[in-house]
């Protein structure tokens, strides 16, 4: 990861994070909260004002005695958050407190390769600049749908991203916008977003299960993202769940993704529409000539038993894998997100039921299994958090 020389030491880093998470504070409040001697704090404040990261914002409300001065993040600070999915680009510009300034999404095929996709990201960002969303970027956070070497800022052997293997994503974006860049896996940024600004706020041991086109798992352990030895931790879509199941795109048999996830659900829903097993799906297939996960969700909402069964079968598969992971890692919370989280309560109920029945009782005694609060925004929120941590430095 690039480091930002502007931030010097853990006190400045903690100070910046505090201003990010709480807004303007007086010098007196900062001294209290950070528990540093006042002369040390004043020196650090001066240094940060000089770098342009913070500014003084007038006198604070009196606490009795001499008035303290309010300090806040420079309102011109800007981060770019980019979430590359298998079939989408999401970009958000935030201020230093991670409040969105502007946002944009468009469909895109990650298989077009890094040159095409990153060119498009550049165009979107330059357009944002032309529109006045930022003058300069202080950091960029970007997620990609595959394993990443977090240290090197490059994708590593990503199965669904031809042409991206070890492509210097960090370097290319950093050169274009002359700022530090942090690259991570898309599921990791979703879990970071959900833990920063969503339902999993400050949870220590978190599993964030993304169920979309693919299936993956973001992992927080002891309050830190866990990425694994090669950056591919959480890649659970190819865990075998049925040794007699269908052949998977990876060449193995009966992988979780071959049985559930966007592709498998569309396949099974199409079969149910064609065979006449599901009137709701047959109707949609006739009208649109394809059926999607959303059609299954809508059919289930109308009470179509085949749609409900398809979701339940999927929830049972996912729940079975999760139950094993719960016994293994003993998490404090499980969050379900990603495109198929739209299947809603039926999916959640089935996953919960299997996890609670099949995992060690001690591990499920107080284990919430909940839907993502941030939904499709989870990724850009997490990417913005990573960008800010790069710009604000490590607190220890």
- What number of chain residues touch its own copies (CB under 8 A)? 46
User: Three-state DSSP class for 329?
Assistant: helix
| 228 touches its own copies by CB under 8 A | yes
Output 42 or 329, the one with its CB closest to its own copies: 329
The strands making up 69-73's β-sheet, listed across from edge to edge, are 25-26, 69-73, 54-59
Q: How far is the CB of 207 from its own copies (least distance, A)?
A: 9
| 324 touches its own copies by CB under 8 A | yes
Residue 59 has φ and ψ, to the nearest 5°, of: -75, 145
| 232 touches its own copies by CB under 8 A | yes
Output 327 or 353, the one with its CB closest to its own copies: 327
The answer to whether 209 and 337 have CB atoms below 8 angstroms apart is yes
| Contacting residue, 156, 271, 277, 370, with its own copies by CB under 8 A | 156
| Contacting residue, 311, 321, 335, 378, with its own copies by CB under 8 A | 321
Please, which of residues 30-69 interact with its own copies by CB under 8 A? none
Output 182 or 203, the one with its CB closest to its own copies: 203
Q: How far is the CB of 223 from its own copies (least distance, A)?
A: 12
Please state, in angstroms and as integers, the Cα–Cα distance from residue 228 to each residue in 149, 151, 224, 289, 377, following that order: 10, 12, 12, 42, 25
Q: How far is the CB of 360 from its own copies (least distance, A)?
A: 5
Q: How far is the CB of 367 from its own copies (least distance, A)?
A: 8
| Contacting residue, 114, 234, 261, 376, with its own copies by CB under 8 A | 234
Residue 377's DSSP bridge partners are: none
Output 253 or 371, the one with its CB closest to its own copies: 253
Q: How far is the CB of 331 from its own copies (least distance, A)?
A: 6
Output 102 or 327, the one with its CB closest to its own copies: 327
| Contacting residue, 136, 328, 345, 394, with its own copies by CB under 8 A | 328
Please, which of residues 284-313 interact with its own copies by CB under 8 A? none
| Contacting residue, 332, 342, 371, 375, with its own copies by CB under 8 A | 332
| 235 touches its own copies by CB under 8 A | yes
Distance CA(333)–CA(237), nearest Å, equals 20
| 238 touches its own copies by CB under 8 A | yes
**CB neighbours of 128 closer than 8 A, spacing ≥ 6?**
80, 91, 93, 102, 104, 134
Please state, in angstroms and as integers, the Cα–Cα distance from residue 237 to each residue in 92, 176, 212, 326, following that order: 28, 34, 11, 16
Pair type for strands 139-144 and 181-185 = parallel
Distance CA(90)–CA(193), nearest Å, equals 14
Q: Produce one character per residue of 88-124: b if its CB has 16 or more CB atoms within 10 Å, e if not.
A: bbbbbbbbbbbeeeeeebeebebeeebeebbebbeeb
Residue 371 has φ and ψ, to the nearest 5°, of: -85, 150
Please, which of residues 359-388 interact with its own copies by CB under 8 A? 359-363, 365-367
Output 180 or 218, the one with its CB closest to its own copies: 218
Q: Where are the beta strands (DSSP E) in the chain?
A: 25-26, 54-59, 69-73, 79-84, 88-94, 100-107, 139-144, 148-149, 154-155, 181-185, 206-211, 215-221, 224-225, 333-337, 369-371
| Contacting residue, 118, 233, 273, 336, with its own copies by CB under 8 A | 233
Q: How far is the CB of 385 from its own copies (least distance, A)?
A: 20
| Contacting residue, 2, 327, 370, 373, with its own copies by CB under 8 A | 327
Please, which of residues 198-227 interact with its own copies by CB under 8 A? 204-205, 217, 219, 221-222, 224, 226-227
The answer to whether 93 and 78 have CB atoms below 8 angstroms apart is yes
Distance CA(252)–CA(246), nearest Å, equals 9
Q: How far is the CB of 199 from its own copies (least distance, A)?
A: 17
Distance CA(230)–CA(157), nearest Å, equals 10
| 252 touches its own copies by CB under 8 A | yes
Residues that bind its own copies (CB under 8 A): 147, 156-157, 204-205, 217, 219, 221-222, 224, 226-236, 238-240, 252, 320-321, 323-325, 327-332, 357-363, 365-367
């Amino acid at each position: 990861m690039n480091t930002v020389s502007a931030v010097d030491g853990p006190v400045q880093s903690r100070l910046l994070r505090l201003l990010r998470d709480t807004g303007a504070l007086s010098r007196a409040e900062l001294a209290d909260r950070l528990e540093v001697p006042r002369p040390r704090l004043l020196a650090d404040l001066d240094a940060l004002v000089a770098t342009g990261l913070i500014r003084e914002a007038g006198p604070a409300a009196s606490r009795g005695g001499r008035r303290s001065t309010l300090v806040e993040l420079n309102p011109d600070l800007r981060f770019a958050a980019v979430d590359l999915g298998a079939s989408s680009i999401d970009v958000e510009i935030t201020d230093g407190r991670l409040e969105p300034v502007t946002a944009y999404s468009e469909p895109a095929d990650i298989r077009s390769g890094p040159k095409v996709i990153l060119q498009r990201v550049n165009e979107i960002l330059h357009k944002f600049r032309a529109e006045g969303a930022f003058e300069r970027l202080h950091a960029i956070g970007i997620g990609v749908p595959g394993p990443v070497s977090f240290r090197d800022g490059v994708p590593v052997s990503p199965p669904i991203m031809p042409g991206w293997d070890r492509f210097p994503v960090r370097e290319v974006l950093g050169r274009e916008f002359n700022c530090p860049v942090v690259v991570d896996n898309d599921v990791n940024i979703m879990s970071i977003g959900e833990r920063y600004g969503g339902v999993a706020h400050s949870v220590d041991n978190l599993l964030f299960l993304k169920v979309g086109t693919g299936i993956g798992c973001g992992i927080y352990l002891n309050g830190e993202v866990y990425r694994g030895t090669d950056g591919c931790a959480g890649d659970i879509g190819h865990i075998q769940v049925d040794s007699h199941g269908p052949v998977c795109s990876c060449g193995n048999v009966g992988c979780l993704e071959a049985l559930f996830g966007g592709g498998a659900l569309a396949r099974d829903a199409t079969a149910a529409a064609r065979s006449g097993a599901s009137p709701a799906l047959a109707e949609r297939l006739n009208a649109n000539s394809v059926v999607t996960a959303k059609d299954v969700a809508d059919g289930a909402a109308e009470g179509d038993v085949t749609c409900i069964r398809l979701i339940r079968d999927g929830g049972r598969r996912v729940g079975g894998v999760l139950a094993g992971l719960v016994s293994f890692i003993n998490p404090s919370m499980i969050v379900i997100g990603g495109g198929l989280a739209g299947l809603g309560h039926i999916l959640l109920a089935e996953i919960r039921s299997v996890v609670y029945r099949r995992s060690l009782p001690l591990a499920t005694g107080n284990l919430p299994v909940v839907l993502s609060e941030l939904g499709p925004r989870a990724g850009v929120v997490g990417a913005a958090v990573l960008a800010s941590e790069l710009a604000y430095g490590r607190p220890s």
